[in-house]
Structure 1
């Protein structure tokens, strides 16, 4: 009976992540097999409307007081729809259902025929088809009316195979057809076997419809393909380390970016993967092994990136990838089933009559629809701006703390004597963690002494991506307006509506001057505070969006020339009113200089 009790407990708990994450990554182990738990809950959710009707019309909740509404539909599902029946030995709850087996079967037949299905197969086929269209179609309609495609992105692990071999020679994808646009995969009556590549921007990466489950395929199990959002592939692509080079991944776990770097540098290269958390380092180690990158990657477990100094083997690296902790405000969490919308049966309902909860739900839905229909265009536009800058989980203080930590990571990377290129990225939409950080580090003494700047748009591999940095958010940068625009153009922004797997920001810093002098421990006037209680790195990883003037319908070559850049310098008065007033650059400098003295005292890294 533990299977049904645990399933009921999951359905009663608040949903903070996907159902798969709740079941397969629990804080406390389940007694029941995880696969059976997931299957029971998913199938019950799919059939919940008809199960609710059967339980209510049978009246068993009035007769069996030990049965809860949740347990009644879970047990009734297995009684009526599972081939093996109720998966438990005799007990009071099972007996309570079996006492009414004939009545439940009769009500189920009546409900099936009422829906126009002559047999069970016809009913299950119809419900499964509805599930595919409504729950796994990968198309999200935002509150602002924009359509977002959420495909499943796949990176081919070139250490083990090639793009061509994965698509043409493997039984997993050899029947898939290439399409020229993202929308082709979604706007069809049925889910088809399509894949969408964009080789000139995302080499060895392609997208498929999210309903295609490839985790049981040989390609996935052997590490030949890796599930990774396209946006999180951008830092390694932008860093573009040459074959045979030495690279440092400063915040490495869980390992997607690390293995991507390993594939780029090849067997003659070297990647130092730095991870301060031991548990996450263990996950990193498993991923590196699965990708076949053990000879390339050296994992530095329980190591703080800022403690790597002269004498350490990683100190000689020429290329560094930094993806530190951030607010995660750009992460899209695919909730495969919304357990909060479970429609439970009521025990106080007459046969064939809708329950009070059902009538109440309908009234609420009608009220919500009426409210939405009366919203004016001006109100919707205002909501677009609010969604761009607001995140319920990010306070001004937390963003400042995260920004301090991010600046610390970059400034330390600037001190590597042989460093030539450094990418900095976040899965955040907040300028405080993106353009503001860029401005702070470029204003620093170490950046100026060592000649660090931002790689131009023309020189980086992501030059054709249409959405760039926000020039107005670089107002604290002490350069000319023209240089500020050039730096903004060098930054890449990805919106959550861009179908790459979430909101993202990435920039590449390059060494512009041949100055190999050491700075004797001086990291400049924009030092940073130690971040108390710093969170572990957030995985890729909600539907916050930064709304532009027009919807983007997938990758298209025409965007290179026709889509306006995001570095438009016109003042956005409405956005400015929405944003909280930032500290002046002088106040910011005073604050960071004060806390920097403590960091400079012993240079032992962040605790």
Structure 2
């Protein structure tokens, strides 16, 4: 970012926060929602709305920069802050209530912006966005803190009216398409998930703030639903932040069992920690390390695994398209993502001998991250695993599946925003055949020598040494105290 102005009146925090978020989404490919919720800002809804508007209008903002020469004439004006301020001025609240120098500078160009707007084809983009599917506001009830029945009662006391639960997927989709206040509906597949009209806000709701209600898209709830571990199970979530799926699994287990939630990134790990804490997911054990460094021997008792790796996020309805991230063409970025996704899934399939079921999921609609990943690992696992037909798992109450053009056929599940009224998602379910031994594989992510795996666990080494040193010191002090007491 360029150097900001030196001035006595500070820029309102909402604009500074939003500018930093938009920059990181564009320059680093970071998740918009993760960036917003990792900071406890009092106006989350305002930041989210302004961030989305700014990201949608980026092509037109760049045109305005070019036509008005604002950045060349005002070289000390931060370009990302300028984008946010102009968006608010032209397409948001249409005013800027601040006397900070960046705001006054943007206001000085308002007439030029308005003149250039007449020559821009921004209305086409804005209208086309409005035509996109309006997906409902999904809420997952955290059954560790609140029963589904109690949640329904609370919603009804607030004035909401529960529609009759649908019996077929077609009737359910019909209800979703017509959902409006004051009605809400229980999800057909996942009973702890409810759909409300798209404009409903829960950020200020007491249930959201105390962890009883989770704002989680229906598609994101499907992996834990299909994993469906039995009470007392040992589960591994290999890419756990921000913690939505891990906490959903904890609720499935009712905190009876263990979940190893792994996250390599330090900031995302903090977000994960907060989510685990607020939801009271007591059975979750947090690991701040690379999942690929897990010692297979140490975690040989794992029975269920969730592999939800980093992906392009192309299925997320609220995320603007990003065809050129970090100056890399989309095809190159997908190739890099695919390599990691294959590596991680292969690692999960071939290194945990007691795993009964493994879920692979992405919030992507690109075959490169989905069918192509599954096809590549199918050549490695032989008959040790079989792909479970998603249609069968959802009792034929689904529409979209993987393409028969691939070796995985139509056994994997797709959710499509314009059909299923939720984010785009891909899910593959692997089930273990214990009559067949895990095959040997020397490719990346294949059978790992545990001594090599141990060498990779570095992030926790320092903390573990400190813990042992602290315990030893405590024991010494305890012994000295006991000795003094005896002498007295």
Measured against the shorter chain, the TM-score band is 0.5 to 0.7
SS of alignment partner, residue 493 of structure 1: strand
SS at match of 1:280: helix
Name 1:196's counterpart in structure 2: 185
Deviations 1:182-229 (A, max 9, x none): 5656658xx511112233x12211111132212222211121110001
Local SS of the residue matching 1:321 = strand
Query: Whole-Å Cα distance in 2 between the matches of residues 512 and 254 of structure 1?
Result: 32
Q: Offset at 1:38?
A: 4.5
- Find the aligned partners of 1:600 and 1:315 in 2 and give their Cα distance: 11
Which residue of the partner structure matches residue 264 of structure 2? 276
Deviation at 1:319, TM superposition (A): 0.7
CA distance in 2, matches of 1:471, 1:173: 47
1:501 aligns to what?
Answer: 422
CA distance in 2, matches of 1:262, 1:11: 33
Deviation of residue 398 (structure 1)?
2.4
Secondary structure of residue in 2 paired with 1:273: strand
Q: Calculate the aligned-residue CA RMSD, in Å.
A: 4.6
1:507–1:462 Cα change, 3 Å: farther
Q: Which residue of 2 aligns with 1:423?
A: 359
Three-state SS of the structure 1 residue aligned to 2:242 is: coil
Contact 2:402 2:411 (C-alpha < 8 Å) held by counterparts: yes
1:149 has 2:134 as partner = yes
Structure 1 residue corresponding to 2:349, chosen from 401, 414, 434: 414
The aligned counterpart of 2:387 is 454
Q: Work out whether residues 231 and 500 of structure 1, in 8 Å CA contact, stay in contact via their aligned partners in 2.
A: no
Contact 2:391 2:398 in 1 (8 A): no
The answer as to whether partners of 1:244 and 1:269 remain within 8 angstroms in 2 is: yes
How far has the Cα of 1:148 moved from its partner? 1.4
Q: Does 1:176 align with 2:109?
A: no
Instruction: Label 1:462 to 1:400 Cα distance change in 2 as closer, same or farther (>3 A).
Output: farther
Aligned residues: 378
Distance 1:15 1:398, change over 3 A: closer
Is structure 2 residue 293 aligned with structure 1 residue 307? yes
Matched, 1:471 2:392: no
Aligned to 2:444: 528
The residue number in structure 1 matching 2:58 is: none
TM-score, L = length of structure 1: 0.53
Query: 1:146 Cα shift?
Result: 7.2
Gaps of 5+ in 2: 1-7, 54-81, 108-125, 167-171, 459-488
The equivalences for 1:40-439 within 5 A come to 148-170=133-155, 173-178=158-163, 181=172, 192-199=181-188, 201-294=189-282, 296-301=283-288, 303-312=289-298, 314-333=299-318, 391-393=323-325, 395-415=330-350, 416-439=352-375
Residues 405, 601 of structure 1: alpha-carbon distance in 2 compared, 3 angstrom cutoff: farther
Distance 2:21 2:256 in 1: 49
2:418 counterpart SS class? coil
Distance 1:211 1:147, change over 3 A: closer
- Whole-angstrom CA distance in 1 between matches of 2:237 and 2:252: 13
Point out where structure 1 has 5 or more consecutive residues left out of the alignment: 46-67, 98-139, 336-386, 478-486, 530-595
- From the superposition, tell whether residues 35 and 411 of structure 1 become closer, same or farther in structure 2 (CA, over 3 Å): closer
CA drift of 1:261 comes to 0.7
Alignment match, 1:511: 432
* Shift in Å, 1:167: 1.4
Structure with max Cα Rg = 1
The secondary structure found in structure 2 opposite 1:453 is strand
**Cα–Cα, structure 1 residues 35 and 435, in superposed 2: closer, same or farther, change >3 Å?**
closer
- Residue 244 of structure 1, CA deviation: 1.6
Distance in 1, matches of 2:45 and 2:428, equals: 43
Rounded Cα–Cα distance in structure 1 between residues aligned with 2:264 and 2:305:
17
Please say if residues 232 and 257 of structure 1, whose CA atoms lie closer than 8 Å, have aligned partners that are also in contact.
Answer: yes
Q: Is the 8 A contact 1:253 1:281 kept in 2?
A: yes
- Secondary structure of the structure 1 residue equivalent to 2:419: coil
Cα deviations by residue, 1:503-533 (Å, 9 ceiling, x for unpaired) = 1100101112423x566xx425xx238xxxx
Change over 3 Å in CA distance of 1:306–1:23 after alignment to 2: closer
What CA deviation, in whole Å up to 9, does each residue of 1:293-342 have, x standing for no partner? Answer: 12x111112x2222223441x3311110100111211122268xxxxxxx
Q: Which residue of 2 aligns with 1:555?
A: none
Q: Kindly provide the CA deviation profile for residues 146-205 of structure 1, in whole angstroms up to 9, marking residues without a partner as x.
A: 7513211111111111222111135675533326655656658xx511112233x12211
**Are the structure 2 counterparts of residues 463 and 5 from structure 1 closer, same or farther at C-alpha, using a change threshold of 3 Å?**
same
Q: TM-score, with normalisation over the residues of structure 2? A: 0.65
SS of alignment partner, residue 277 of structure 2: helix
Please list the CA deviations of residues 87-128 of structure 1 after superposition, one character each: whole Å capped at 9, or x if unmatched: 889x9x99xx9xxxxxxxxxxxxxxxxxxxxxxxxxxxxxxx
Matches of 2:45 and 2:190, distance apart in 1: 37
Q: Distance in 2 between matches of 1:493 and 1:23?
A: 23
Q: 2:378 aligns with which of 428, 442, 445?
A: 442
